[in-house]
Amino acid sequence: LAPHVSFIGLPFRTIPFLVFQLQSKWVAGVLSGRLELPSQEAMMRDVDAFYSDMEARGCAKRRTHDLGQGNPFEYEDWVAEQCGLGRMEGWRKGMFVATCKNLADRPDSYRDE
C-alpha cells in the first residue's frame, strides 16, 4: 500500500469538477488528520462488498469508476458527508440528469439548446 498516494478524478459519468473538488477536500482532510480513515480491514470489507455488488448486477470490473451505474449520486453524497458538507443540491442533480437525457435523445445537438 502507498498511504500518501491519492488519485483524484478517476470517476466518470458524473459531474466531473464537483467530484474532483469533493475528492480533493476529502484527501486533504485525511492527509491533514482532520478526517480519519477506517481500519484497513474495514476498507477491504467495503471493497469486497463493492465488487460483489457489481458482480451481482452484471457489471464488469473495468466499470469500477463508472458512477453512472447503481445508485445515482450515492458516491458524491457519501464523500460530501465525510467532509462535513451537505448532500448535493437537488437542482444540481436534476440538471445533470436532464443533460444526460438530452445527450441520449439528441447526441448531435444537445449542446445547442
Mind listing the pLDDT tens digit for each residue in 28-80? Answer: 999 999 999 999 999 999 999 999 999 999 999 999 999 988 788 999 999 99
Cα–Cα distance, 107 to 12 (Å, whole number)? 18
Cα–Cα distance, 31 to 17 (Å, whole number)? 21
**For residue 73, what are the CA distances in angstroms to 14, 23, 24, 39, 63?**
8, 14, 17, 25, 16
Query: Does the pLDDT of residue 103 top 70, yes or no?
Result: yes
pLDDT value for 1:
59
Report CA torsion sign: 83, 4, 2, 39.
Answer: negative
pLDDT value for 2:
65
CA 1 to chain CA centroid, Å, is: 22
Cα–Cα distance, 21 to 12 (Å, whole number)? 14
